[in-house]
Structure 1
């Protein structure tokens, strides 16, 4: 049985979700509550991530996240995930820092969208995820349209993620504001799916809140982790 390595702390709330969800899905796969997976978590500082990106210090970002992944490899992880969307800005370079497989949240989400037959999807996340093209590239390459909210709405979403969701705070007025932005985007762009491209967003946006499928990147990523654990 393979051992997972998780680069966590990005933020702490979603790292807890990864841990709990991974255990639950593993036990379902084993058809037993009397077993637990072996895994390692290397919790790093999400505010360093934001600083490196804001200051355009992407080489430092690669070294920081890549170093965390390498530490997991050194202590025995058989594969590694980075439990957040934003650091995937430099995922291809981070992947080169280890010799074991790394599972991309972006690639996993694209595969899920393709499986569902989605062609016109919206993307929410931190401003870094929405502004950069790392999440958009596979969708555009696969002839799928991917759209983000207006710049002002992006800034609002980012600030509420950082100030509230990253700290485990869920406010009803924030949810209502998010839904207003999303419903406007659905109407204007005729979306057939919405990517929750921040691992904290499922805290506030749930399936059924809107009339299109929500792609929960945490859940999608964890499903890929479980597949990797049971693979030969």
Structure 2
């Protein structure tokens, strides 16, 4: 079995979700509750990551994440993941500077959307994810249209992620506003699906909340992680 190294703490709530989902899916695959995967978690400072991105210190962010992955290499991880969408701004730079392979949440989400045959898709997440191109690039390259909320909507979504969801708070009023934004995009932008491009968003948006497909990036990422755990090392 391959051992996964998780760069976590981005935020703590989603890291717990990753851990629990990996265990659950691993046990389901083996058909037993009496087995556990061996994995490593390096929990880093989410607020430092936000500061580095907000102040456009891209190289500093890459260095911080490279150091985090290298520590996972040293303890024996066979591959690594970053348990958040936003830090994937520098995913390629990090992968180039570490020895073990990494699984991109962006690429795995694109593959899932492509399998659904969706050509017009919405994206919500932190302001960094919505403002930057790193999540949009594979979709645009694949001749798909990707839409984000208006500027004011982006500010609201980001604020509530940082102030509430990152702290484990699920607010009914916030949920209602999030769904209102997505429904507006469905009608005005004609989106056929929505990417929950922050690993905390599944805490507040559930499968039966919308009439269009949701792309839960955490679940998509975890499925790929478990697949890779079971890959033959040889």
| TM-score of the two chains, using structure 2 as the length reference | 0.98
SS at 1:177 equivalent = helix
Structure 1 residue 156 and structure 2 residue 156: aligned?
yes
CA distance in structure 1 between the aligned counterparts of 2:137 and 2:11, rounded to whole angstroms: 24
Question: How is 1:192-203 mapped onto 2 (pairs within 5 angstroms)?
Answer: 192-203=192-203
CA distance in structure 2 between the aligned counterparts of 1:126 and 1:12, rounded to whole angstroms: 15
C-alpha displacement of 1:97: 2.0
C-alpha displacement of 1:96: 1.4
Cα deviation 1:202-230 (Å, max 9, x = unaligned): 00001121110000000000000001001
Q: Any conservation in 2 of the 1:67–1:97 contact (CA below 8 Å)?
A: no
Decide which moves more: 154-163 or 110-119.
110-119
CA distance in structure 1 between the aligned counterparts of 2:151 and 2:74, rounded to whole angstroms: 41
1:135 maps to 135
Cα deviation 1:116-174 (Å, max 9, x = unaligned): 11111000000000000000000000011110000000000000000000000000000
Superposed structure 1 runs of 4+ greater than 2 Å apart: none
Structure 1 residue 35 and structure 2 residue 35: aligned?
yes
2:87 maps to 87
| TM-score of the two chains, using structure 1 as the length reference | 0.99
C-alpha displacement of 1:25: 0.3
Cα deviation 1:84-129 (Å, max 9, x = unaligned): 0000000000111211110000000000001111111000000000
Q: Any conservation in 2 of the 1:79–1:102 contact (CA below 8 Å)?
A: yes
Q: Any conservation in 2 of the 1:124–1:148 contact (CA below 8 Å)?
A: yes
1:216 maps to 216
CA distance in structure 1 between the aligned counterparts of 2:88 and 2:195, rounded to whole angstroms: 15
CA distance in structure 1 between the aligned counterparts of 2:120 and 2:149, rounded to whole angstroms: 14
SS at 2:202 equivalent = helix
2:188 maps to 188
CA distance in structure 2 between the aligned counterparts of 1:17 and 1:88, rounded to whole angstroms: 18
SS at 1:103 equivalent = coil
CA distance in structure 1 between the aligned counterparts of 2:98 and 2:225, rounded to whole angstroms: 17
1:174 maps to 174
CA distance in structure 1 between the aligned counterparts of 2:65 and 2:202, rounded to whole angstroms: 24
Q: Any conservation in 2 of the 1:3–1:38 contact (CA below 8 Å)?
A: yes
CA distance in structure 1 between the aligned counterparts of 2:105 and 2:97, rounded to whole angstroms: 17
Q: Any unmatched runs of 5+ in structure 2?
A: none
SS at 1:64 equivalent = helix
1:75 maps to 75
1:110 maps to 110
Q: Any unmatched runs of 5+ in structure 1?
A: none
CA distance in structure 2 between the aligned counterparts of 1:117 and 1:207, rounded to whole angstroms: 19
Structure 1 residue 226 and structure 2 residue 213: aligned?
no
CA distance in structure 1 between the aligned counterparts of 2:120 and 2:53, rounded to whole angstroms: 28
